[in-house]
Amino acid sequence: MALLVQKFGGTSVGSVERIQAVAERIGRCRDAGDSVVAVVSAMGHTTDELTGLAAAINTSPPQREMDMLLASGEQVSMALLAMALHQQGVTAVSMTGPQVGIVTESIHGRARILEIRTDRIRNQLNEGQVVVVAGFQGTSSGPGGIAEITTLGRGGSDTSAVALAAALEADVCEIYTDVPGVLSTDPRKVPDAQLMAEVSCDEMLELASLGASVLHPRAVEIARNYCVPLRVRSSWSDEPGTLLTSRCNRLIGQSGLELGSPVDGVEQMEGQAVLALSHIPDQPGIAARLFETLSTAGINVDLIIQATHEGSSNDITFTVAESDLEHARSVSQSVLDSLGGELAAEGGLTKLSISGAGIMGRPGIAAGLFNCLSQQKINLRLIATSEVKVSCVIDSASGRKALQAVQQAFDVADSQVRMNPELSCTDEPEVRGVALDRDQAQLTVRHVPNRPGTAASLCSSLAERGISLDAIVQSERQHSDGSRDISFILRKEDRSRADVALAPLLAQWPGAALEEGDAIARISAVGAGMPATPGTAGRMFRALADAGINIGLIATSEIRTSCVVPEQNGVAALQAVHAGFGLGGQEHHQAHGTASPLDND
Ligand code: ADP
Ligand code: ASP
Ligand code: MG
């Protein structure tokens, strides 16, 4: 007899018939002798509709009242599902987040789970009941110990389900949704997207945070950290769907189910070199040509960043192993000879990385890393950010003291430090999936002083207000006063708060100014085999160039490459990159939502 946690999304419980079908599925599992905890979302688009009602009544509704309102959506579906189960002769009881004992932080709108008090749910299961739980909600103890309903953030029912599975040590957590599982990309935008039989939690975490809305990123974090067997499956079939795999196996500790440190490793890679190409033309095909030429020459490029300057020319900076420096220099120079532009190269560098899960989703972590290095007066030559790894390229002479400081700051044991890890060739695909995110805005801070600590203070100012940033690019070129520019992207919904957060800092930097970029879309490719496969980035840039799409900003991390393109090119870019990596196949499914495939919402 197995314990199953099954989560049913909005479309899966979107009508009376759908709820009955869910009840039948649960009934079959009970007949087979399994115990079931069912976690439900609000029916259909209820949460959007409730949000619309709130906005029509108050332009800035209190967060507490938003939680009171939105939590009602899941209560409707939980009670209806329990009734449907009774109708089919299956004993069931519905429970709200507070009744289940899902205890969260005292924050409204995006609370993280601290613990799940499982006694009550276990008792109900022991009595042979199916327990139907309202997803997306929990309870805080609140100021003065008063319990308040909290919600976990949009899409958070996935997180409720995986957290319950972790706390109950369930045999499996199944996320039932309106697609056959995790696909190589969103089938609404690319109809020939293919099902993945398996995906690692690290890859999924990157994909989910880069726009693959099929799973809430925090659900993937929990599955990864506590090794929860997690499957994404279709509500419309018995196909096995996609299995998420994880190697990590933490125990739920004192610090809180979702609040443990996201950093569980530090890596140092010595013998690195940086090549910086500046003043190169800003037009489609340049990055493709450069990285294809480097790949043909057998040079494995690691990190890449590109930023556009004053809309007319680009700087591209990338790293290679120091042993490839001279070769990479001459290959790059040969490309520049026909394009124009300048080349600077330097060796003697080290890459220092922190790794884990949900790093950029917690804004204080990257800020903490940069602050730690700036306190040691270490200059950050290049920064690469992602959910599973944040890396800084620094001077090798500072390597040892940087490692010690970072290990201490993040409380990382010697056994969790990897020195000069080998790139192991695995049979993992270079690109497993691609994702599109149109919820990002691009900002540039012009005239940032050129000294250690500027990226740190920028990130810290934003982190203090809970704002995460990504694709942080420090310009190679300097203004006549020696200052530089720093570009980054952040969520559109954080945009106006970023102005307020950065104002005091900018006031301290003479001539500094914040500049808003054009509307953007971020397109990202993710694959565990990327680091060991030369030429992946070049293939992505080629796919975009062949589609006539110009790349504004490039930012890579170990298992992902992201490009920022004009917003209106977003879907075309997604389709081009998906096809470019040969991820398409037969068109055999479409989402069972109200939206049609190819809808561009
Ligand atoms: P639910 O209501 O079941 O939680 P969601 O709408 O949150 O469903 O997530 C499912 C949707 O995620 C799909 O309908 C699909 O359009 C979208 N999606 C985006 N990227 C992917 C992907 N890589 N694989 C599968 N679905 C994806
Ligand atoms: N109903 C909530 C939402 O629409 C939570 C969820 O469905 O996961 O965001
Ligand atoms: Mg969802």
Domain residue limits, the chain: 3-181+230-237, 263-580
> Crossing angle, helix 201-209 and helix 217-226, to 10 degrees?
160
Specify the residue with its C-alpha closest to ligand 2, atom 8: 155
CA pair distance 213, 194, nearest whole angstrom:
16
312-321: burial string, b at 16+ Cβ within 10 Å, e else:
ebbbbbbbbb
| CB-ligand 1 contact for 10 (6 Å cutoff) | yes
| Neighbouring-strand partners of residue 386 | none
User: Ligand 1 mean position to 273 CA, how many Å?
Assistant: 40
Of 252, 271, 316, 262, which is closest to residue 114 (Cα–Cα)? 252
* DSSP β-bridge partners for residue 516: 443
In ligand 1, the atom with minimum distance to the C-alpha of 592 is: 14
Q: Mean pLDDT by 10-residue block, N- to C-terminus, for the chain (601 residues)?
A: 96 98 98 98 98 97 97 98 98 97 94 96 97 98 82 98 97 97 98 96 97 97 95 96 89 84 94 95 91 95 87 88 97 93 95 95 93 93 93 96 96 94 82 97 92 90 92 85 91 92 93 91 96 93 96 93 96 98 78 46 44
Query: How many CB atoms lie under 10 A from the CB of residue 423?
Result: 12
CB-ligand 1 contact for 178 (6 Å cutoff): yes
Query: Atom 3 (ligand 1): residue with closest C-alpha?
Result: 9
Query: What is the 176 CA–ligand 3 centroid distance (Å)?
Result: 10
CB 41 near ligand 1, within 6 Å: yes
CA of 23 to the centre of ligand 2 (A): 20
Give the pLDDT confidence score for residue 142 in this predicted structure: 64
Q: Which pLDDT value is given to residue 310?
A: 67
* The pLDDT value given to residue 594: 43
* Residue 195, ligand 1, Cβ within 6 A: no
Which of the following CATH numbers is that of domain 263-580: 3.30.70.100, 3.40.50.1000, 3.30.2130.10, 3.30.300.30? 3.30.2130.10
Of 77, 154, 177, 184, the one to substitute when testing ligand 1's pocket (max ligand atoms within 8 A of C-beta) is 177
In the CATH scheme, what is the code of domain 3-181+230-237? 3.40.1160.10
Tokens representing 456 are 């740190």
Ligand 2 pocket, mutate which of 110, 154, 158 (most atoms under 8 A from CB): 154
Helix (H, G, I), strand (E, B) or coil at 413: coil
Which residues fall within 8 angstroms of residue 446, CB to CB, at 6 or more apart?
A: 479, 483, 485, 511, 512, 513, 514, 515
Q: How many whole angstroms from 293 Cα to the centroid of ligand 1?
A: 37
The pLDDT value recorded for residue 99 is: 96
Residue 347: CB within 6 Å of ligand 2? Answer: no
